[in-house]
Copies of this chain bind each other. A is one copy, B any other.
């Protein structure tokens, strides 16, 4: 009985904690989910600042999509667009400090991605 009550309490707390975690994950996916945002941030973190540089580095992204992703990233405080007047005008994108709060996420995902690639490769050669 006491056991049953405790279990109910535990389950309730557990469910609430689960909701919190799921909500956090949902928030994260909303902000940085999708096919490109993290990859753009990685490329920029490696020193790519110009539109064309980023596009070359992030294989497969089109100008239209890169343009709209950069706008979203700017709106959400991850990057800033800098326009230098001159001949010709020079445009550079830079990471803002908020991008660096993603370092752990990026590190964890890339590490996992590398392990996963190894696993898939091993399976490929295993099955004939």
Contacts and interface: CB of A to CB of B under 8 A. Distances in A.
A70 B104 CA distance: 28
A108 B104 contact: yes
Contact size class for A? 35 or more
B39 A22 contact: yes
A109 B105 contact: yes
Contacts of A113: 23-29, 31
A18 interface: yes
Contacts of A64: none
A57 B104 contact: no
A73 interface: no
B25 A109 contact: yes
B57 A18 contact: yes
A22 to B, nearest CB: 6
A46 interface: yes
